[in-house]
A and B are shown apart, each in its own frame.
Chain A
Amino acid sequence: MTAILEADKITKKYGIVEVVHGISFQVEEGEVFGLLGPNGAGKTTSISMLTGLFPPTSGSAKIGGYDIQKEPLKAKQITGLVPQDLALYPTLSARANLNFFGRVYGLRGKDLKERVSDVLHIVGLADRADETIEKYSGGMKRRINIAAGLVHQPRLLFLDEPTVGVDPQSRNHIFDSVQKLNRERGMTIIYTSHYMEEVQLLCNRVAIIDMGNLVALDTIKNLVAMLGGGVIQIGLNKVDDQILAELSALPAVKTASLAPVIAVAPAAAGRDGGAVTTSPTPVVKIEAVQGQRALIEVIQYFNERDIPVVSLETLEPNLESVFLHLTGKKLRE
């Protein structure tokens, strides 16, 4: 497989605040690649740099072999962007919107007509194409928003949070469209979301971004495997090194450590940031080899020593718990 996107240490600074810290990754042609991270993690800024909306402060990227700064027009011609906002002209019809965006990418005449008709069928709105956008429901607008990014048949499509504020029916339609575009037309898709379920459903590989840093990049299977048998988080009044060592030594436990807790400190961290502090009520994070057995062993350990447990939470091995494990916070915080 060849890489259609190669990002090399791309960084974005606003003044003195760095919001994307030199992230590097590659996307192979034909894959659905997920960019997962909470709101404000730097996903949209990264996509904006890669689609040529603004240049990176440092670093470089290539799309289809074209450097996005040296040959931006060639790179943009094979790229499609579906922005997070409903980037459409509300007083124009869906067809007029699609005709316009097609023309901007150089389509004309019969080609344009066919492409517009095709994308209207893909998003299932061919029968309502001549209604103005302002008369559409939120879900229908989202679908036309996607169609506008597809009309010129890009090889690489960036979908930036395409399901925000969408009803379940339209959401399912969007999922179907993404899968069909990838499977039937071989389109490479970079799908950003803060919904773990969507990324898990659609993507082959996932890059997890937090506070402008790339904290993990792998297949979903490998990322989930990092957690082994899951994670147990136990709140205690007091924790010492001996407790952590004894818990780590239990047969069904892989590691036990003190969990960091995120406290947002905007003044210090700037646009996307947060700062890590220690919680006043300590939480022990236990990575299990085998979840059920580890839970029994841990509870038994505290009962035998008469140590009161303040809170207890078990995390199934999935992307959400991977994110929590890697960043110490939940995706939707």
Chain B
Amino acid sequence: MRTLGITIKDLHVFFLERSNYIWVFILPMVFILLFTLVSGAAQNRPAEETAIKLVVLDQDGGSESQNLINRLEGTEGVKVEKLDAAAVEQLRSKEELAYLLTFPAGYSSAVSSGQPATLNLEKVKGTDNEFENLKLIVVGVASDLSLETQILESLVMVGEMQKAAPDVQPLFTVEQMQAQAKYQFEKSHTQPLVVISSSSPQTILERLKDKTKEITWAQSVVPGFTVLFVFMTAAITAQSIYEEKRVGTFRRLLAAPLRRANLMVGKLFPNFIVVMIQVVVVFAASILILPLLGSGGVTLGNDPLALVLLCMAMALCATALGLAISALARTESQISGGSQLFLWLTGILGGCLVPLTLFNNPTLTSISRFVPQSWAIQGLQDLMVRGLGMQAVLPEIAALLAFSLVFLLVGALRFDFD
């Protein structure tokens, strides 16, 4: 009960201080709204600016390959550049080749004779996100062409049958023609004429299969800034402990009949509660406000329990980090300025402002694993954007708990009660 008394008092003090509302609730929402608008504007750029550049190597040179290339050129979102093998190799050697679509020799004759043919779509240097989009476009265009070819082929076949035996074969009924078209439509899915095989660098394939779905910058704004400002509360915890020491109330509490562990739990628990309130407020505000700005909106995913547990792990980690900062920082400037700088830098490194996948830098991605923010963001993205469940975020929860343990140990060993 005495520990709870300290917690209630600290929450009372916290909510009386107006600047805390700015840091904990207002700034996250300002950043979320601002970055949502910016990322939305980026998405709304003219098509020619955002079109994905696709280099095409036509080793076939036939009419069917040209037909598909023409279709791709007419598709919004793709800018096709047809090059010969030497030019492709030159681009590759200069590391200027992002995506390459190769038509193998014999492609046209295979398609013309109704035999399946395979195209190769290769990601050399581009982003995962663009590659996924490109794959969808190429598969879509190829499917349309397959369907068209197969239906036309069947109609030709029907016509030839009619022509060969006009007396034997009566005119085809509407029902027979519909059945034939339906058969060809289904066949185009199960046995497509054109198959797209794709390849991309090993670093991306190494990831877990269910976490490979890339997300856009806009989708990462809410998880990113939520995590950034959740961890910013560590500075508020450290400041609260420093103030308590500076004013002298900490001495008074040390003179009271309280165990030191109870005193520290009483001092840290308010931050945990504040973070949980912060997460609820930021998520609720994002869900309500972002759709009004024309954004796709925010969902809490499909596993509420996993989301709650992940948020609790985040809150614990941020609180423990606050203790570690208060134990390591000795002066007010170290706590107010130094810790803010540290939290911003680790937040950026963790991918709070811009998703690390957009940098596509394996070194940066590896380093980011050493800051808790990257794990928290990964977890939130898995649950809120990718729609995954508890199983998928167990590593993130475990990592956050491990970070919490380290911070608590540092805090406990280095805390200056004198």
Contacts and interface: CB of A to CB of B under 8 A. Distances in A.
Contact of A79 (B2, B12, B255): B255
A52 interface: yes
* Most B Cβ at <10 Å: residue of A48, A83, A84: A83
A181 interface: no
Contacts of B17: 91
Contacts of A247: none
* Most B Cβ at <10 Å: residue of A73, A103, A105: A103
Nearest to B17: A91
A53 interface: yes
Contacts of A85: 247-248, 251
Interface string A60-82: 00000000000011101101010
A55 to B, nearest CB: 10
A87 B247 contact: yes
Contacts of A192: none
Nearest to A91: B16
Contact of A104 (B6, B16, B251, B259): B6
Given A87-B247, A92-B12, A104-B2, A54 B252 contact: no
14 contacts: A52-B254, A72-B257, A83-B248, A85-B247, A85-B248, A85-B251, A87-B247, A87-B249, A88-B249, A89-B13, A92-B9, A101-B252, A104-B258, A148-B252
A8 B110 CA distance: 102
Interface string A86-127: 111111100010001101111010000000000000000000
A90 B256 contact: no
A103 B252 contact: no
Main secondary structure of the interface of B (DSSP, over half): helix
Interface residues of B, number: 23
B418 interface: yes
Contacts of B9: 89, 92, 96, 100
Sorted nearest first, the 4 A-B pairs with minimum C-beta distance are A85-B248, A87-B248, A103-B5, A76-B257
B13 A105 contact: no
Contact of A53 (B5, B16, B251): B251
Given A91-B16, A100-B9, A52 B259 contact: no
A81 B247 CA distance: 15
B244 to A, nearest CB: 9
Interface residues of A, number: 32
A193 interface: no
Given A53-B251, A104-B253, A149-B252, 19 more contacts: A52-B255, A53-B417, A72-B257, A73-B258, A74-B257, A79-B255, A81-B255, A85-B247, A86-B247, A88-B247, A89-B249, A92-B16, A103-B1, A104-B6, A104-B256, A104-B258, A105-B256, A105-B257, A106-B2
B254 A53 contact: yes
Contact of A83 (B6, B252, B417, B418): B252
Contacts of A103: 1-2, 5
Interface in B217-266: 247-249, 251-259
A321 interface: no
Contact of B257 (A77, A84, A100): A77
Contacts of B16: 91-92
A48 B253 contact: no
Contact of A54 (B2, B12, B13, B417): B417
